[in-house]
Amino acid sequence: MIASFLTWLGDATMLAVFGVAALLSLMIATWWGELAGIRPHRDKSGLGGFAAIYLFFAMRWLLLAPLVVVGASPFVAWPWSLLAHALLGVASVQLFGRGLALVLQDRFVPLWLGLLGAVVLPAPALWLGADVVHLPCFDAPLVPVAGLLLLHAWGFWHRRRERFRPDPAPAPSEVVDTDRGGR
């Protein structure tokens, strides 16, 4: 009885950790889209808010690290899987810094850079994490991870398309029309 409860508790904990990590990953994907949606020669006073993303990068990495180690254990030794996870995490942070530098130089963040950071780099960790959690309704993590990555792409694309919205109309001027007899 206690052993089955502890097994259930361990599974519930891993599912909760994976859920929080997936939510953080979705938030990071939308931030990538927001970064990629900043138009050149615009106000950049809000870029200071991007400083918080580095905290979220670290939290996602720390939450997914144990799941990656457990998920990759049948394939490679745990130090190698942890090293690969660390390298992907560092690459993600460096690419975000590169995108931020492009925005500060009044240049567009390329689509490939945004999609790489928002969808491609978190994919291996999410795959291995979903494999460890192994939702009972799916035999393989292909369907849930594909859906999760589609949500990443949608969040990125939705925030990125802000760039293509038309500029707001200028404020009405207060010019007096003197042709109509106005003083």
Q: For 133-142, how does the pLDDT look when each residue is reduced to its tens digit (9 = 90+)?
A: 776 556 777 8
pTM of the full structure: 0.79
The answer to whether residue 93 scores a pLDDT higher than 90 is yes
Q: What is the pLDDT of residue 154?
A: 92
**Contact present, 121 and 92 (Cβ < 8 Å):** yes
H helices of the chain, in order, are 2-36, 53-72, 78-104, 111-115, 123-133, 142-160
Q: Measured between alpha carbons, how far is 40 from 14 in angstroms, rounded to an integer?
A: 42
